[in-house]
A and B are shown apart, each in its own frame.
Chain A
Amino acid sequence: MAVVSEYTDTLLPIRWPDERRSSYDVVIVGGGGHGLSTAYHLATRQGITNVAVLEADYIASGNTGRNTTIIRANYGIPEAIRFYQHSLEMYQRLEDETGAAILHQTKGIVWLAHTEMAMRTERARCLMNTANGAQTFMRTPAELKELIPELDLTGGGRYPVLGGSHHVEGATARHDRVAWAYASGASQRGVDIFQHTPVTGLLRDGDRVVGVETADGPFAAGTVLSAVGGRVTEMTAHAGVRLPVRTHPLHAFVTNDYAQGFSPIVASTELMCYVSQTERGQMLIGAEFDAQPSYSRQSSFAALRSYSYKITRLLPFLRDLRILRTWAGICDISADFSPILGFTGVDGFLVTTGWGTWGFKAIPAGGEAMAELIATGRPPALIAPFALDRFRRDHVLADQGSAGTR
């Protein structure tokens, strides 16, 4: 009980608006992490506070409140490593900056390799990471066993652990608290957050988007940002913008408490599964997204079976635990497994999408950069490579191997 009340007692307040203004400089569609972080950074970094965030359900009800909260920067291409490392460092400072207890914990994340091919990939990852400012180092099986005593180095006799990369700054944080921290900070500075307000269309003036349509009437806006997670295809279609994005479900589950502390986050890119321990002691397990796109958030037995099979090869003690809760989110996965953020080709209409199964870690830096883009009209260097027009310019940023385990 003490934990629960301390938890709710330390939530910062959100100022909910009584009524809407006649027009806003910026309307953000979607009250997930990316929408709220953009609103927060518009208010705190750009001095733009005439902003509304419109959320169809309640804030963080989408993927932001459903993810497994892994924060890491061990990606495979320089553009991504630099971006995610910046976001990881923003997370390290977020409690100090906002005063919100987001339960940030640096744990380190280990990516296991079961074949020579995977060892080569992880060695290359370490070099690429350290060259771009992320701290990732190779570990021997003996070193891994020391980090994770529960690890079966034979991988159940099928997936021997030949080594792995250790990304020492890997971390986790409470997802709903991150959303709440940004919502609180934004609303205290004048941003209006409307829950239960689905956007049903976009207002046009000629070729320009000038606001959004809702059941409560229109909201006029200088700029509209779509930050709707897996629902992005239908949102941008209102402006005639067609995207290289598919919506796939991703599942996760937690077990009952594991009495021992289990410190690092452990993942296998070849097996495509990962596990960490929550602050309550439960083991949190996730794996790869469903092969076929869908908008269903129903947990599936097929996913549970496959995730359980894989993770118990590596950590046999998990067999003695029981699955307590399962859930799923619908993820906006881009064709090259990198995010898409910035201009859409339609004036007044911007997008932040392609966050797929890996965009929680990006919430601080993604929002900061989108806020700067909205304020200045120019994409900051950190996100310029992630523009939608990269597909038209043949500059895709293929990085599927780094997206695999969140």
Chain B
Amino acid sequence: MLWLDCPHCGRRPLDEFSFGGERRSVPDSITDADERDFDEVWVFENPDGLTTERWFHAAGCRRWLTVRRDTAIDQVVDVVP
């Protein structure tokens, strides 16, 4: 992965962005309050495939973007404006 299409700035080198982590929520199947806390703070889905995540355009418009990416091949699928 070398480039990211920023909806505000256009096609920019990946170096300009910082990775902000996967977008996720604790599954409803986890009901215990302590377990929900553990999951919320520490756990990663870490999928081998499609993931939705946040990227920050640090050296550009300084806005947060929501990006869908295929982690199996490390390619952006699309950027959700």
Chain A residues in the interface with B (C-beta under 8 A): 231, 233-234, 242-247, 249, 290-296, 298, 300-302, 335, 391-392
Contacts and interface: CB of A to CB of B under 8 A. Distances in A.
A245 B46 contact: yes
Interface of B: 1-2, 14-15, 18-19, 22, 34, 38-39, 41-48, 51, 53, 69, 71-74
A98 to B, nearest CB: 35
A8 B30 CA distance: 52
Contacts of A234: 48
A276 to B, nearest CB: 27
B71 A302 contact: no
Given A292-B74, A294-B71, A295-B71, A302 B46 contact: no
B49 to A, nearest CB: 8
A298 B74 contact: yes
Given A300-B1, A302-B14, A295 B72 contact: yes
Contact of A233 (B14, B46, B53): B46
Contacts of A233: 44-48
Chain A at the B interface: SS class: loop
A399 B4 CA distance: 31
Contacts of A301: 2
A392 B38 CA distance: 6
A291 B54 CA distance: 12
Given A234-B48, A300-B1, A302-B14, A291 B42 contact: no
Query: Looking at A243, A245, A294, which has the most chain B CB atoms within 10 Å of its CB?
Result: A294
B44 A302 contact: no
A33 to B, nearest CB: 22
A302 B17 CA distance: 13
A174 B2 CA distance: 33
A301 B13 CA distance: 12
A176 to B, nearest CB: 25
